[in-house]
Amino acid sequence: MSEGLLGSEWFRLILGLLIVLAFSQLNALFLVWLERKVAGHLQLRPGPMEVGPHGLLQTIADGVKLVGKELILPFKADRKLFFLAPVMVFMPVLVGFLVLPFSRGLIIRDMNVGVLLVFAFSTITVLAILTGGWASNNKYALLGAVRSVAQNVAYEIPLLLAVLSVVLVVHSLSFAKIVEYQKTVWFIFLQPLAGLIYLIAATAETNRAPFDIPEAESELVAGFHTEYSGMGFGLFFLAEYTNMFIVCAVATSLFFGGWNGLFGISLGIPGVFWFLLKTYFLIFVIMWVRWTFPRVRFDQLMNFSWKVMIPLSLANIVITAIVVKII
Amino acid sequence: MKIHDIEARMRGKFGDLPLKRDETGVTGASWSIAVPIGDLRDAATEFNAAGFFLESITALDFEDTFELVYHFNCFEPGSRAVVRVLCGHDQVPPSICDIFRGAAWLEREVHDFFGITFSGNVDMRALLLPEDADYYPLRKTFGKVGAYHKREVIYG
Amino acid sequence: MAELEKIEASDRVYSLNLGPQHPSTHGVLRIVLDLDGEYIIKADPVIGYGHRGHEKMGENRPYKQFLPNTSRMDYLSGMLFNHGFVLAVEKLVGIKVPERAKYIRVIASELNRISSHLLWFGTYLMDLGGFTPFLYAFDDREQILDILDSITGSRLTYSYCRFGGVSRDVDLKFIEMTRAFLKRMEKRWADYDSLVTKNVIFIHRTRDVGVIDRELARQYGVTGPNLRACGVAFDVRRSEPYEVYDRLDFEIPTGTKGDALDRYDVRFKEMQQSCRIIDQALDQLPEGEFLTPKVPQKLGPPKGEVYTAFESARGLTAYYMVSDGSPGPYRCHIRVPSFGNLNALNDVLPGTLVADAISILGSIDVVIPEIDR
């Protein structure tokens, strides 16, 4: 690292933020396209084909359309909160990028509380959804928002417990240290249960099917973003996909060895490539699940969390703690 | 066969006279019975007790009278029976919605189309027509007025 | 239920307007729900948004001119409604139908029944949040539409039946296409079975949801697959056989409890039975006329009335017509199955969740324009 301006902390941070902004937007656009393609091919159809090669530019066209649309404020809606919510939903997602370990040394800020930071900020998403749903002055939106809060509270617990069992082994909350630890053996092999719980809870955290009950389009029309039009809707949409990327990236770092190759064999491929490969594969899995399963009902979802996932993850932590103590 | 049970009961109650058998099968029913408007609920109660379900209620508009036609059926082959009730243009037939729950909507439909009010059916809001409809479209005097017969022209 | 009554008095209850524009109300149905949280306390279906006055139209024109109207009531099983109407008029006037025409009508009707059930299958799964089966079902349905298109010239609102036969004869190409379709579906049933029927989330969403038992079905006049799901083997094709159904070997699938899963099961098996019927009818299809040539342009039916019931995709449907001897009916009433089926929701919905309401509504398979007429 050179001295002076280039080496300064602030420069690093601003540069990082710019890169994150650009990357997250492009990534979300790509993911939307990918989702459509995955859905299409799973459903015996080609998906978007018209704009650009294989419809690659379709999401850009859609984005332009969304930007050009009028932002409609519903009757008697809370104006300030209504427009604050889409901004609020996007902010924590950006913070998450700051600590993601793309490769060795390719971290904007490697903090010793990185894991904590990501999950702490991801909670704000729920607040944004609640704000948006409440401010819309629409019963469907409110129902969606309330569902979202209940769901996130229920699923954050097993999610964090699953993460905790990894942290217990490594004795650190820093992403870099956790990834280093998995040089030879990924955590998914040491902690298969925690990994599975994390993936399920993460799907629920990001409101993805089969846990997409806050927006359940066949029940609540569009849930919390029923009343949002134009870029208001667009931001919720982008945040959802960026959120998905973060959740999968965290899963990659915590359970799938981050930038490490399988069993320490990296084949000379740069770490960042390994990292992205695994992350996008996990994203693909989540999409695959979405287009295969029907939606669970609200009470079933809560039952599953409180009666199955939380006891299991608690048991997992206890066992992990005992094993760590003995070794 | 439930249809024979109910036929015997009907004969016992109303006598042989108003019960008409249909051998040709054109009317789709084994027999039809004409009951006075006051006995409609009794007839419906019998059908309910015999395990029949109410297939449809409709009305016919004649120059001299309305005629309500109730089709009953049960879950057995060829067991349809018809109850016919003559109902003057200004008469109010009794509702059978407490005997057959499904009758409430069917009566509302008849009310929509013919303006016949059923006493005992508390919910007489418009079902198929707009809430503010003040016309009865299936009366023969509504819209394009075609033939308007007396009942005997068709049924003799 | 006792709990529910307690809640009713409190001010926590709010009403939610489900529809008329809602992704899952299948047409323009509106249900005013009184909710406590997400629990339904009272449900009041509001219908009539699609009322076009078909009965009045029927009384204003000759029988023949009403023919195209029939398939526009239940647009998903238009062929069946069309078929039922010509049955009624033929019975009233006394027109003989050639054997070949009877078989052709049965084949076309059963194809239409499968296409209607396939559409239900797809949309029901979509109501439950599963998007993919919808497109699979539409892919299969597309084959049926192509087959029917080749003989009727239309894809949805068929006006194929004529008094005394059908409008056009079937050719070898039609038979080939139908056979190919039957063969294709054999594989597809297994796919659907493993993709949907055995899916654990699907089972949890439908089991014990929206139970319509025998007594409730009788009270509301519920018919069709919804009735058969509670164990009553009542099918007009069996109880009052029309055309050639008495010569064909098919089963009437029934359920046990009458919940959404049973209704799903019954419809699913019904499609397979329809395939069996088509297969046999194709085997037995006789040579000969497809339309009686001597039917007059202007029908002069005798005075009197006719009531003809038939099994549409949604249950017992009937045409009730009173003739005064003129070329058009004096009164034309259509008994539609979805009317009773939807009516039963008044009793089924209270006490369930909003998500279940959608599941129940989807599982009873209503077509609103059919109710509204």
Q: Do C320 and B58 touch (CB under 8 A)?
A: yes
Give me the helix-helix angle, A9-42 and A230-255, nearest 10°.
100
pLDDT of residue A4: 55
3-state secondary structure of C142: helix
Taking the Cβ of residue C344 and every Cβ of chain B, the question of whether any pair is shorter than 8 Å is answered with yes
Q: Do B56 and C333 touch (CB under 8 A)?
A: yes
Query: Which residues does B17 contact at the CB level (< 8 Å), separation at least 6?
Result: none
Please say if the pLDDT value at position A98 is more than 50: yes
Residue C330 has its nearest CB partner, among B52, B54, B147, at: B147
> What distance in Å separates the CA atoms of residue B32 and residue B73, rounded to the nearest whole number?
12
Residue A256 corresponds to which amino acid? F
3-state secondary structure of C237: helix
Q: Do C240 and B28 touch (CB under 8 A)?
A: yes
Taking the Cβ of residue C296 and every Cβ of chain A, the question of whether any pair is shorter than 8 Å is answered with no
> What distance in Å separates the CA atoms of residue A89 and residue C91, rounded to the nearest whole number?
67
Taking the Cβ of residue C43 and every Cβ of chain B, the question of whether any pair is shorter than 8 Å is answered with no
> What distance in Å separates the CA atoms of residue B40 and residue B98, rounded to the nearest whole number?
13
Say how many CA atoms lie within 13 Å of A2 toward its Cβ.
4
> What single DSSP character describes residue A256?
S
Residue C24 has its nearest CB partner, among A139, A213, A218, at: A218
pLDDT of residue A88: 84
Q: Which of residues 56-115 of C touch B (CB under 8 A)?
A: 56, 59-60, 91-92
Q: Assess if residue A31 is contained within a domain.
A: no
Whole-prediction pTM: 0.86
Chain C residue numbers touching B61 (CB-CB < 8 A): 331
- CA dist A235 → A32, A67, A83, A162, A239 (Å): 13, 10, 11, 29, 6
Q: Do C339 and B105 touch (CB under 8 A)?
A: yes
b/e map of C303-320 (b: 16 or more CB within 10 Å)? ebbbbbbbbbbbbbbbbb
Nearest Cα to C336, choosing from B100, B102, B56? B56
pLDDT of residue B64: 86
- Confirm if B77 and C240 have CB atoms less than 8 A apart: yes
Tokens 């307690």, residue located: C6
Nearest Cα to C361, choosing from C132, C65, C112, C30? C30
Taking the Cβ of residue B1 and every Cβ of chain C, the question of whether any pair is shorter than 8 Å is answered with no
Please list the ranges in chain C whose pLDDT falls under 70. 1-10
Nearest Cα to C203, choosing from A105, A13, A293? A293
Chain B residue numbers touching C48 (CB-CB < 8 A): 126-130
Q: Do A294 and C199 touch (CB under 8 A)?
A: yes
The sign of the dihedral angle between the CA atoms of A292, A298, A299, A302 is positive
Which of B37-51, B66-80, C3-17, C94-108 has the least mean pLDDT? C3-17
Q: Do chains B and A touch (3 or more CB pairs under 8 A)?
A: no
Q: Take residue C165 and report the two structure tokens written for it.
A: 């036969």
Chain C residue numbers touching B28 (CB-CB < 8 A): 240, 306-309, 318
- Confirm if A44 and C136 have CB atoms less than 8 A apart: yes
pLDDT of residue A277: 86
For A296-325, give the DSSP string: PPHHHHHHIIIIIIHHHHHHHHHHHHHHHH
Chain C residue numbers touching A219 (CB-CB < 8 A): 24, 354-355, 358
> What distance in Å separates the CA atoms of residue C100 and residue C248, rounded to the nearest whole number?
14
Say how many CA atoms lie within 13 Å of A240 toward its Cβ.
21
Nearest Cα to A217, choosing from C28, C126, C338, B62? C126
Q: Do C355 and A212 touch (CB under 8 A)?
A: no
Q: Do C339 and B128 touch (CB under 8 A)?
A: no
If you average pLDDT over every residue of chain A, what do you get?
83
Q: Residue A71, Cβ neighbours under 10 Å: how many? A: 13
- Confirm if C108 and C148 have CB atoms less than 8 A apart: yes
b/e map of A242-256 (b: 16 or more CB within 10 Å)? bbbbbbbbbbbbbbb
The C-alpha R_g of chain A, in whole angstroms, comes to 20
pLDDT of residue C74: 84
Q: Take residue C151 and report the two structure tokens written for it.
A: 């003989």
Q: Do C22 and A221 touch (CB under 8 A)?
A: yes
Instruction: For residue range B147-156, list pLDDT tens digits in order.
Output: 888 888 887 7
Chain B residue numbers touching C320 (CB-CB < 8 A): 56, 58, 69, 71
Chains within contact range of chain C (3+ C-beta pairs < 8 Å): A, B
- Confirm if A195 and A188 have CB atoms less than 8 A apart: yes
Chain C residue numbers touching A47 (CB-CB < 8 A): none
Q: Assess if residue A29 is contained within a domain.
A: no
> What distance in Å separates the CA atoms of residue A89 and residue A176, rounded to the nearest whole number?
27
Residue B60 has its nearest CB partner, among C47, C308, C331, at: C331
The C-alpha R_g of chain C, in whole angstroms, comes to 21
> What distance in Å separates the CA atoms of residue A69 and residue A80, rounded to the nearest whole number?
19
Q: Residue A280, Cβ neighbours under 10 Å: how many? A: 18
Give me the helix-helix angle, A58-68 and A230-255, nearest 10°.
140
b/e map of C322-354 (b: 16 or more CB within 10 Å)? bbbebbbbbbbbbbbbbbbbbbbbbebbbebbb
The sign of the dihedral angle between the CA atoms of B123, B124, B129, B134 is negative
Residue of A nearest to C15 (CA): A139
The C-alpha R_g of chain B, in whole angstroms, comes to 16
pLDDT of residue C5: 53
Chains within contact range of chain A (3+ C-beta pairs < 8 Å): C
Taking the Cβ of residue B127 and every Cβ of chain C, the question of whether any pair is shorter than 8 Å is answered with yes
- CA dist A161 → A101, A188, A315, C357 (Å): 21, 15, 10, 35
ipTM of the complex: 0.88
Q: Do chains A and C touch (3 or more CB pairs under 8 A)?
A: yes
Beta strands of C179-288 (E only): which ranges? Answer: none
Parent domain of A294: 71-326
Mark out the alpha helices in A43-138 (DSSP H runs): 58-68, 79-98, 114-135
pLDDT of residue C2: 46
Please say if the pLDDT value at position A103 is more than 80: no
> What distance in Å separates the CA atoms of residue B139 and residue B113, rounded to the nearest whole number?
7
Q: Which of residues 297-336 of C touch B (CB under 8 A)?
A: 303-309, 316, 318, 320, 322-324, 326, 328, 330-331, 333, 335
**Domain tally for chain A?**
1
- Confirm if B68 and B110 have CB atoms less than 8 A apart: yes
- Confirm if A191 and A257 have CB atoms less than 8 A apart: no
Mean pLDDT of A24-38: 86
Q: Residue C195, Cβ neighbours under 10 Å: how many? A: 17
Please say if the pLDDT value at position B17 is more than 70: no
> What single DSSP character describes residue C301?
P
Instruction: For residue range C165-223, list pLDDT tens digits in order.
Output: 888 888 888 899 999 999 988 888 988 888 888 888 888 888 888 888 888 888 898 98
> What distance in Å separates the CA atoms of residue C118 and residue C333, rounded to the nearest whole number?
28
Which of A90-94, A238-242, A272-276, C61-65 has the least mean pLDDT? A90-94
pLDDT of residue B16: 66
Chain C residue numbers touching A302 (CB-CB < 8 A): none
Q: Take residue C138 and report the two structure tokens written for it.
A: 């539409």
For an interface test with B, the pick among C30, C223, C331 (most B C-beta atoms closer than 10 Å) comes out as C331
Q: Do chains B and C touch (3 or more CB pairs under 8 A)?
A: yes
Q: Which of A53-57, A63-67, C264-268 has the highest mean pLDDT?
A: C264-268
pLDDT of residue A2: 44
> What single DSSP character describes residue C194?
I
Instruction: For residue range B106-124, list pLDDT tens digits in order.
Output: 888 898 888 888 888 878 8
Please say if the pLDDT value at position A1 is more than 60: no
In a 10 Å sphere around its CB, with 0-12 CB exposed, 13-18 middle and 19+ buried, how is residue A22 labelled?
exposed
> What single DSSP character describes residue B144?
S
Domains and CATH numbers, chain C: 54-346 (1.10.645.10)
- Confirm if C11 and C36 have CB atoms less than 8 A apart: no
Tokens 């019960």, residue located: B19
- CATH architecture type of domain B2-137: 2-Layer Sandwich (3.30)
pLDDT of residue C196: 85
For A1-44, give the DSSP string: --STTTTSHHHHHHHHHHHHHHHHHHHHHHHHHHHHHHHHHHTT
**A139 CA: distance to closest CA in chain C (Å):** 7
3-state secondary structure of C130: coil
pLDDT of residue C6: 53
Mean pLDDT of A198-207: 86
Residue C215 corresponds to which amino acid? E
Q: Assess if residue A170 is contained within a domain.
A: yes
Confidence of residue A264 (pLDDT cuts 50, 70, 90): low
